[in-house]
């Protein structure tokens, strides 16, 4: 029997909660045990509700408990969504029948249904987002409450759109629930791992090359857009990044890097460090499925267990490890920079981005400071 390795990435249930809890006006109920509630509540830092089913509900059925929780919430106004977890799904309970006669959004997304992104997409589909052809602006997608950089990403991409004279449409998924059904016709993304599929997608915002391409498309697609201020900003900020990296390289050798993250963030990190710091990308371990065929020159493979990650770090012996607190726990004396959850042991009050020009500046700054601190 194969060894069971410690998983690193949240399950589908957590992904569904990350999607739904991002919309104001929806009360999200986790239908399952206390553990199934507390994990997303701790990770997402969002107001969630739980049924906290116990042994007797497992044996005799959880319908009464579920209806009790929904009844308590129904008087508060707004919508209610129920996310199923593994226990009621394994028991084969007919949750839809339990909710008959109630105006509840049901998302069948137990943990065994897949990973974080699977549940996110299932919840978004249950909301049935739609394009409003009369809506002005451009949607921002790729936003997940599970991402420690989501708030900074929304602020940064909103700022860039405003610089180009473009209002923000619907933010998937960090907006009022009603806005999901009135999305603008055009969309740009902050993290392709959580793309909404709503509207015509014009490109991403991770990294300066991607930003240039996306805003050039906006210039020719969105009537009234003036992207010249963004073009100027991109040129100036890229010069700052290049100068800082060249200064580092006059003193130190380029680092060998091992990167562990979701596919979008992992490839952003690899492209940025390869482009500006001449870094040797020794390994890219993705939490989710990488592109097929790989749309990159880097050695990419899916690594979802902590033991797998530890073996890879030992194998390639990088100067710099990029990942989460899991990677930090097994990287030994290697320099570390965190870009995905969990990021424990640090006070996080500001909300820096990874998307936009500010995201590239923040990421390169973190890497250079970490590498120089290690060599000091």
Q: Which residue has the tokens 């040129």?
A: 235
Query: Residue 149's pLDDT is what?
Result: 97
Helix (H) or strand (E) holding 210: helix 208-221
Specify if 42 maps to a domain: yes
Long-range contacts made by residues 86-95, C-beta under 8 angstroms, separation at least 24?
A: 86/13, 86/32, 86/36, 86/110, 86/111, 86/112, 87/32, 87/33, 87/36, 87/53, 87/58, 88/31, 88/32, 88/53, 88/62, 91/58, 91/62, 93/61, 93/62, 93/63, 95/31, 95/66
Specify if 19 maps to a domain: yes
Q: Select from 1, 337, 355 the least CA-distant residue to 152.
A: 355
Largest CA distance in the chain: 70
Residue 247 and residue 362 in one domain: yes
Tell me which residue range forms the domain holding 193.
138-226
Residues sharing a CB contact under 8 Å with residue 91, sequence separation 6 or more, in sequence order? 58, 62
Specify if 132 maps to a domain: no
Asked if residues 206 and 264 have their Cβ atoms less than 8 Å apart, the reply is: yes
Secondary structure of 246-270 in HEC code, one letter for each residue: HHHHHHCCCCEEEEEECHHHHHHHH
Specify if 5 maps to a domain: no
What is the Cα–Cα distance from 29 to 20, expressed in whole angstroms?
A: 10
Specify if 133 maps to a domain: no
Among residues 80, 105, 127, the one where a domain terminates is 127
Residue 197 and residue 297 in one domain: no
Residue 179 and residue 281 in one domain: no
Residue 153 and residue 54 in one domain: no
- For residue 342, what are its two tokens? 């969990």
Asked if residues 119 and 14 have their Cβ atoms less than 8 Å apart, the reply is: yes
Query: Residue 148's pLDDT is what?
Result: 95
Residue 221 and residue 271 in one domain: no
Residue 222 and residue 245 in one domain: no
Counting every residue written for the chain, the total comes to: 376
Residue 189 and residue 252 in one domain: no
Query: Residue 282's pLDDT is what?
Result: 98
Specify if 192 maps to a domain: yes
What is the Cα–Cα distance from 101 to 247, expressed in whole angstroms?
A: 66
Specify if 7 maps to a domain: no
Residue 122 and residue 167 in one domain: no
Residue 167 and residue 250 in one domain: no
Q: Indicate the number of domains in the chain.
A: 3
Task: Report mean pLDDT in 10-residue bins for the chain, 376 residues.
Answer: 68 97 96 93 94 77 85 87 91 81 89 94 97 98 97 98 98 97 98 97 98 98 97 98 98 97 97 98 94 75 94 97 97 96 89 97 98 83
Specify if 288 maps to a domain: yes
Residue 248 and residue 371 in one domain: yes
Residue 370 and residue 239 in one domain: yes
Query: Residue 64's pLDDT is what?
Result: 86
Among residues 127, 148, 180, the one where a domain terminates is 127
Residue 33 and residue 119 in one domain: yes
Query: Residue 76's pLDDT is what?
Result: 80
Among residues 99, 127, 155, the one where a domain terminates is 127
- For residue 211, what are its two tokens? 């930003």
What CATH number is attached to the domain comprising 173?
3.40.50.1980
Query: Residue 2's pLDDT is what?
Result: 43
What is the Cα–Cα distance from 124 to 172, expressed in whole angstroms?
A: 9
Query: Residue 293's pLDDT is what?
Result: 62
- For residue 208, what are its two tokens? 């300066």
């Amino acid at each position: 029997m194969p060894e069971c390795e410690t998983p690193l990435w949240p399950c589908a249930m957590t992904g569904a909660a990350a999607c739904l809890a991002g919309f104001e006006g929806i009360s999200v109920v986790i239908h399952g045990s206390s553990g199934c509630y507390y994990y997303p509540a701790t990770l997402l830092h969002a107001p969630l509700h739980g049924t906290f089913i116990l042994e007797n509900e497992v044996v005799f059925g959880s319908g009464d408990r579920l209806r009790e929780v929904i009844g308590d919430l129904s008087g508060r106004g707004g919508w209610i969504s129920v996310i199923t977890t593994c226990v009621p799904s394994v028991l084969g309970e007919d949750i839809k029948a339990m909710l008959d006669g109630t105006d509840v959004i049901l998302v069948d997304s137990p943990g065994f249904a897949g990973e974080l992104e699977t549940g996110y997409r299932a919840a978004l589909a249950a909301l049935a987002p739609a394009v409003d052809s009369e809506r002005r602006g451009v949607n921002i997608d790729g936003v997940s409450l599970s991402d420690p950089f989501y708030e900074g990403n929304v602020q940064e991409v909103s700022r860039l759109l405003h610089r180009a004279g473009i209002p923000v449409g619907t933010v998937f998924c960090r907006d009022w629930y009603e806005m999901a059904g009135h999305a603008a016709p055009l969309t740009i993304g902050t993290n392709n791992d959580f793309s909404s599929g709503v509207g015509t997608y014009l490109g991403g915002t991770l990294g300066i090359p991607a930003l240039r391409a996306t805003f050039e498309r906006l210039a020719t697609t969105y009537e009234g857009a003036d992207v010249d201020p963004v073009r100027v900003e991109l040129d100036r900020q890229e010069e700052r990044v290049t100068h800082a990296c060249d200064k580092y390289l006059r003193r130190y050798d380029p680092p060998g890097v091992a990167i562990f993250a979701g596919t979008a963030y992992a490839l952003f990190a690899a492209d940025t460090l390869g482009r500006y710091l001449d870094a040797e990308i020794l390994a890219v371990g993705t939490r989710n499925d990488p592109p097929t065929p790989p749309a990159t020159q880097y050695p990419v493979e899916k690594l979802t267990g902590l033991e797998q990650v530890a073996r890879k770090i030992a194998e390639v012996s990088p100067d710099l490890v990029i990942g989460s607190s899991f990677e930090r726990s097994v990287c030994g004396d290697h320099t570390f920079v965190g870009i995905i959850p969990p990021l424990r042991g640090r006070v996080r009050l500001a909300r820096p981005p990874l998307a936009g020009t500010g995201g590239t500046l923040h990421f390169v700054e973190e890497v250079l400071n970490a590498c120089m601190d290690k060599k000091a």
